[in-house]
Amino acid sequence: MSALALFLVIGAALCHASWNYLLKKSGGGIGILTLSGVLGLFWVGPFAIWQWWAKDFSFTWPQIGMVIGSGIIHTAYFLLLDRAYRSGGDLSIVYPLARATGPLLTILLAALLLGERMGPVALGGAILIGVSAFLLTGNPAKLADHSARRAAGFALMTGGLIAVYTIWDKQAMAAFLIPPIVFDWAVNISRVAVLVPLANIREPGAITRAWHAHKGTALAIGFLSPLSYILVLTAMVFTPVSYVAPGREISILFAALMGTQLLNEGEGVRRTVAAAGMVLGIAALALG
């Protein structure tokens, strides 16, 4: 992995962990998910339109299909992640489970579907990141609690969707040649197009209540969420997905620190050991 790709991936990880922390702290819900998605469209829009014009890009029907498909997958991802947090899952349980499951499945899918191969050092780093991520989950006895099991189940399903959208979006970048910012903006438009009517049906007035109670949080999530993925998509343009996906998991270190220091979730020794394993894993990816 090049130095530029590593810089993009680490920046994306920090943004991603931050918006997850904000979502967990706010209590989540479809109202804030929808509102943050709408707000995100406004700041990304000018950049996407500029890139659209600068590259003289025009959508074909297959490319539109890729956008709509990705929008559906991302909508399910956000809803499952929010459900995991609202089911009583701690940030330090839900986030590591989801983020660790995603890259490990991504590596498998990339090998099966895209023919990508990792060197032994990079593969060892990816495995170490996955093992360290599960170590960050905390005391396994916590999963005996019903709400914790439900949260863990939703987190694992979220991880599966991470693998699916990573492979899908990699193809949109590499095979269908959609510019990253244009693609992310178009995907978010399709996601918002689903979430707005869904929010009005499931919880009428939820978007308005989210604006009054959490407008600052929604603005921050609306900024950080697309930014994190735009950085990842940019890295995937010139870096194999089997390197980018595991490298993103440094976000688990950031989320663990936020959980320990800001949400008082404790177990700092376990997280420190796991974080050290993740740093070694990232180094192996960079060398491999």
Task: Give the Å distances, CA to CA, from 13 to 7, 47, 67, 108, 253.
Answer: 10, 21, 23, 21, 9
Domain of 171, in residue numbers: 3-287
Q: Model confidence at 3, in pLDDT bands (50, 70, 90)?
A: confident
Decide if pLDDT at 140 tops 70: no
pLDDT at residue 286, as a whole number: 60
If one counts the domains in the chain, the total is: 1
Task: Give the Å distances, CA to CA, from 248 to 38, 62, 113, 127, 201.
Answer: 25, 28, 21, 13, 35
Q: What is the mean pLDDT of residues 26-45?
A: 93
Handedness of CA 255, 260, 264, 270 (dihedral sign): positive
Side chain identity at residue 176, one-letter code: F
Q: Model confidence at 42, in pLDDT bands (50, 70, 90)?
A: very high
Decide if pLDDT at 206 tops 70: yes
- Phi-psi label, residue 204: left if phi above 0, alpha if psi -120 to 50, beta otherwise: beta
Look over the chain and give the mean of its residue pLDDT values, rounded to a whole number.
84
C-alpha to C-alpha distance for 256 and 229, rounded to whole angstroms: 20
Q: Model confidence at 199, in pLDDT bands (50, 70, 90)?
A: very high
pLDDT at residue 194, as a whole number: 94
Decide if pLDDT at 143 tops 60: no
Side chain identity at residue 287, one-letter code: L
72-76, 158-162, 246-250: which is most confident: 72-76
DSSP 207: H
pLDDT at residue 254, as a whole number: 86
Decide if pLDDT at 245 tops 90: no
Q: What is the mean pLDDT of residues 214-223?
A: 95
Residue that wins the pLDDT comparison between 210 and 1? 210
